[in-house]
Amino acid sequence: MVEGATNKVQLKDSGAHNWYRFVLSFPPHLVREYLRAFNAEAGDTVLDPFCGTGTTLVECKKLGIESVGIEAHPMTHFASAVKVDWTPSPEGLLGHANEIAQDVRKVLEADGIDDDRIYDPQSLFGGWNGNGLRVLPETSRKLLLKNSISPLPLHKTLVLLDRLDRAAPGPFRGHERLALAKALVSRIGNVRFGPEVGVGPAKPDAPVLSPWLSGVREIAEDLSELEKVDGALATAHHADSRSTLGVLEPNSVDAVITSPPYPNEKDYTRTTRLETILLGFVKDRSELQALKQGLVRSNTRGVYKGDDDDRWASGYPEVQRIAEAIEARRIELGKTSGFERLYGRVTKLYFGGMARHLADLRRVLRPGAQLAYVVGDQASYLRVMIRTGQLLGDIAES
């Protein structure tokens, strides 16, 4: 871990990175520091096996270094794939988005709604009670954080999504949808980050088209600059990082730069829940469970009966000691909830999953490959310290 590195995107780095960014992403300048330290150059291949929203891939592409990403979460994988696609015409993207916006305005006007106004729902339609507004299917609605988006902004968002879905497949589809994902969490919905995800005061109404078009314009402006860059190939695979050989050739990777999950009780599927559901990447509880099962276990909300990655941690005494210390602390404090009972086990599942990842990864590395894993020490489970970096280093060496 690089101490003191600020987790912010500097203005000069913002191109493509700010199209959509996971709240816990690491900064582009940190990727550059590792690329310099590794003497990475054109002809090398850099892997990010937990590529999230594509920081490593975008930065490598800008610098002319081929890169590959693996990401199990469909929403963040989508973001990575779009952020390294610099082929759309900026003018074409803007023109297409404006056509869609005009169509959406007509539909909303037929409902008596002007998206440029902020309505008081109590007075809308002379005493509106919510009847006639578009809603999510019940199976999808139940997955959202409660009150993470208000009924009227949701209605307008669903009208826009319907129009986007009816557009003929083309080069602008992904970028337009990604701009909406960013607008949902930054302007339209009620979610707040600190960095834990939560729900702030509900906004009775919020504009949808203007923040969406603002995001599209930002993408178009960046594309105008990025089309001048002779970018290297960057590929994002939707896959499980514990099975890298499923998507990569043996002996094909020169360097790894990544920020994996930590054993910190953060449910990464909650942080992106609003956009994941509204953009249709997860439609019901079974699909959400399947998503979580493809992730390295780092929180108790993602533990399932058949999980067995903990067997990969059985040969590491320090992992076993920490798990036992967490369980002893739980008993000492009288903590009895279902989540608290899983704290010790999820620690073993996490390090077992990472051991499984590293064992599989070894076969895709070229001789002399260099690895950078950006992690932090944790005391999330009843204040028992977990030296994550040291433990992962020990496991990697073994």
* 2 within a domain of the structure (yes/no): no
How does the average pLDDT of the chain come out, rounded?
92
Count of structural domains within the chain:
2
Give the angle 184-289-334 at the CA atoms, nearest 5°: 100
Angle, helix 151-166 to helix 90-110, in steps of 10 degrees: 130
- Pairing between strand 197-199 and 234-238? unpaired
CA 101 to chain centroid? 27
218 band by pLDDT with thresholds 50, 70 and 90? very high
77 shares its domain with 107: no
198 shares its domain with 328: no
* 4 within a domain of the structure (yes/no): no
Q: Are 179 and 216 in contact (CB under 8 A)?
A: yes
Can you tell me the distance from the alpha carbon of 236 to that of 154, in angstroms, rounded to the nearest whole number?
30
* 360 within a domain of the structure (yes/no): yes
Residue 308 neighbours by CB distance under 10 Å: 9
How many DSSP H helices and E strands does the chain contain? 15, 7
Q: Are 151 and 130 in contact (CB under 8 A)?
A: yes
Q: What is the pLDDT of residue 121?
A: 66
State yes or no: pLDDT of 4 exceeds 80. Answer: no
* 5 within a domain of the structure (yes/no): no
Can you tell me the distance from the alpha carbon of 38 to that of 67, in angstroms, rounded to the nearest whole number?
14
Q: What is the pLDDT of residue 3?
A: 38
Q: Are 69 and 54 in contact (CB under 8 A)?
A: yes
Domain boundary among 226, 254, 270: 226
245 shares its domain with 373: yes
182 shares its domain with 44: no
Domain boundary among 195, 226, 257: 226
Residue 100 neighbours by CB distance under 10 Å: 21
Q: Domain range holding 56?
A: 11-86+231-397
State yes or no: pLDDT of 331 exceeds 90. Answer: yes
| Per-residue pLDDT tens over the stretch 231-256 | 899 999 999 999 998 899 999 999 99
- The alpha-carbon radius of gyration of the chain (Å, integer) is 22
- Of 20-29, 175-184, 308-317, 337-346, minimum mean pLDDT range: 20-29
191 shares its domain with 250: no
Instruction: For residue 182, give both structure tokens.
Output: 């960013």
Domain boundary among 189, 205, 226: 226
151 shares its domain with 212: yes
Q: Are 87 and 24 in contact (CB under 8 A)?
A: no
* 334 within a domain of the structure (yes/no): yes
**Bridge partner list, 370:** 255
The SS3 assignment for 113 reads coil
pTM over 0.75: yes
Which CATH number goes with the domain that contains 50?
A: 3.40.50
- Helix, strand and coil content of the chain, in percent to the nearest 5, comes to 50, 10, 40
* 6 within a domain of the structure (yes/no): no
Q: What is the pLDDT of residue 131?
A: 61
